[in-house]
Amino acid sequence: MELSVVTGDITAQAVNAIVVNLFEGVDAPGGGTGAVDTAIGGAISSLIADGEIKGRRGEVTVIHTIGDTYAGFAPDRVLVVGLGKSKNFDMDGVRSVSAIVARRLRTLNVESAATIVHGSGIGGLDPEVAAEALAEGAILGLYRFDKYRTSSKPKFDETKPATLVLVSNDSSKIPALEAGVARAQAFAGASISARDMVSEPANVLHPTKLAEIATGIASEGGMAIEVLEKADCEALEMGAYVGVSLGSHQPLKFIHMTYEGDAGNPDNNLWIIGKGITFDSGGISLKGGAGMGAMKGDMSGGAAAIASMQAIATLKPVLNVHMVCAATENMPGGGAQRPGDVVIAMGGKSIEVDNTDAEGRLTLADAIGFAKSNGAKRIVDIATLTGAMVVALGMGHSGAFSNDDELVDQMIAAGHTRGEPIWRMPLDPITKKQNRSDIADLKNTGGRGAGSITAAHFIGEFAGDTPWVHLDIAATNMGRSVHDWEPTGATGVPTRALIQLAMDLGS
């Protein structure tokens, strides 16, 4: 979909449909909605009076204006979208209604549409912020992954709407609106890249393919990238990571991408580390067969980390950002590591492998070790780490664990800005003891109780005193149904929150 911004009258746009809005409880529409109401003979006011239009959030009313019904009125349809109560309206509200409207335009087979900027008038939002949220919601809301469908056609034309024009009657606002749309395209484009990676089947997106995608993003963004092979990782003594890879025929790929936004100050850095298990069978500690196909998404953290660099290279924060994804499969081959094995992580810590299905934290241990050995000053790791996170928080929030109040607060704030909620979880000394091993420095599981917390404690052993946040996205990486701007399937969470964090730190 092509997005653009123009100065003009919303009623005069030569498009198939125009979109206006209404807050709940408004009896007499004003602004752009009022202008459209006048142009179509008070039809909106009549429907409000009849109770058909209530202004509830997400409510969409279609008014047909085809032919010569209203002299001089070009659009064939007017869509009135409800914004809900004005006191509760925010960027998420704009994203939500924009996504809902975009999908409705598609079901109506609309080729071209124009819209006023929701929330920028009576809604009280900054016009640039409102335009950004509108564009972001529309792009993300139209997302579908159906590249492998050949025998059945989708219900609606996936190419529509082809164009969406944001209209303002105030020419002084146009630069701000254009800036908001451009920023939205960077954020949403990165999130879609992450969704695409997670949605691919594991026979297509294996570690080698993931490295190829990362290399393409690095090349397009002018960033440095290195991809370490198994021998390189063994030379660096990454025994925890290499151990996970031993059961797979697919070679591991340790991906390190670098954006230099403050080259003269190398300590001004953020390391984004994503779990990159492109398929997780559980290894020798084999998972049950039901639902195992979803484990193609166990690289969602890695996808978010890689995709975030796409937007960071475009938006250019004054910050050095390093991305690491230690990619591999976790398979039960003849060479696979076994429960009871002991591996040595980079830096020398010994780990008893109590359960081979607790593999992600092993790969992250060496990824963090690599980051620290290369001067990491802030670390954020992202992983679909524990089913216990789903039990703890449900599907609404990613869990955050941290050794640094300032960094975790910044991460939570970034998630709030982008509509990717994050909730801080505790790291207490009692649960930390559950990772004790009788034969090694620690073991890779702490038992059933507090599973997300013990997993975070394990990773924290390798972060040490470096400011660090661990995001467990096992509850938020996949959606069960279309919700606002998130689709069924891969959500792309927390790609946009990571980008926002980098922008906040590098502003």
Instruction: Supply the pLDDT for residue 346.
Output: 98
Q: Per-residue pLDDT tens for 16-39?
A: 999 999 999 999 999 999 999 999
pLDDT of 438 reads 97
pLDDT band with cut points at 50, 70 and 90 for residue 123: confident
Instruction: Report d(CA 261, CA 318) in Å as an integer.
Output: 5
Residue 172, class by beta-carbon neighbours within 10 Å (0-12 exposed, 13-18 middle, 19+ buried)?
Answer: exposed
- Measure the CA–CA gap between 487 and 191, rounded to whole angstroms: 12
Catalytic residues, by residue number, are: 287, 361
In this prediction, residues 61-71 reach a mean pLDDT of 84
Average pLDDT over residues 373-394: 97
Q: What is the mean pLDDT of residues 302-316?
A: 98
Structure tokens at 445: 């599981």
Cα 374 to Cα 256, 291, 379, distances in angstroms: 11, 38, 12
| Assessment of whether the complete model's pTM goes beyond 0.85 | yes
Tell me the C-alpha distance between 381 and 459, whole Å: 9
Residue for token pair 């397009």: 220
Please tell me the least confidently modeled range out of 62-76, 123-137, 267-281.
62-76
Residues 326, 363: contact at Cβ < 8 Å? yes
pLDDT number for residue 153: 67
pLDDT value for 121: 80
Q: What is the mean pLDDT of the chain?
A: 96
Cβ-based neighbour number of residue 72 at 10 Å:
8
Residue 68 φ/ψ, nearest 5 degrees: -100, 25
What is the token pair recorded at 407? 């960094």
pLDDT given at position 157: 86
Q: How confident is the model at residue 73 (pLDDT cuts 50, 70, 90)?
A: confident
What's the gap between Cα 338 and its chain centre? 34
- Phi and psi at 374, nearest 5°, equal -110, 20
Is pLDDT above 90 for 74?
A: no
Give the percent of the chain with pLDDT over 70: 99
CA distance 332 to 385: 19
The 10s digit of each residue's pLDDT in 133-188 is 999 999 999 999 989 988 776 778 888 999 999 999 999 999 999 999 999 999 99
Distance between CA 5 and CA 115 in Å, rounded? 10
Tell me the domains of the chain and their CATH numbers: 2-170 (3.40.220.10), 188-505 (3.40.630.10)
For the residues 71-98, what does the mean pLDDT come to?
93
The model's confidence at residue 72, banded by pLDDT at 50, 70 and 90, is confident
Does pLDDT of 304 surpass 90? yes
